[in-house]
Amino acid sequence: MNALEQDFLSYFDRNGLNHAGVDKLLPARKLVYDCAQAEI
C-alpha cells in the first residue's frame, strides 16, 4: 500500500466509513492517481 492509499484509508476511517466501502473506492482512486502521474 502506498502513501496515497494510506491517506485515503485514514480519511475514510476518520469519517466513520467502513473498509468494505473504502475497498470499492480505492481502485477508482488509484486509477485517477495513475492517470495523473502519467500526465506528468
Tens of pLDDT along 1-40?
A: 678 777 776 776 666 555 555 566 677 777 777 877 787 5
**Cβ of 29: how many Cβ atoms within 10 Å?**
13
pLDDT at 30: 78
C-alpha dihedral (7, 13, 18, 22), degrees to nearest 10: -10
**Percent of the chain scoring above 70 in pLDDT:** 52
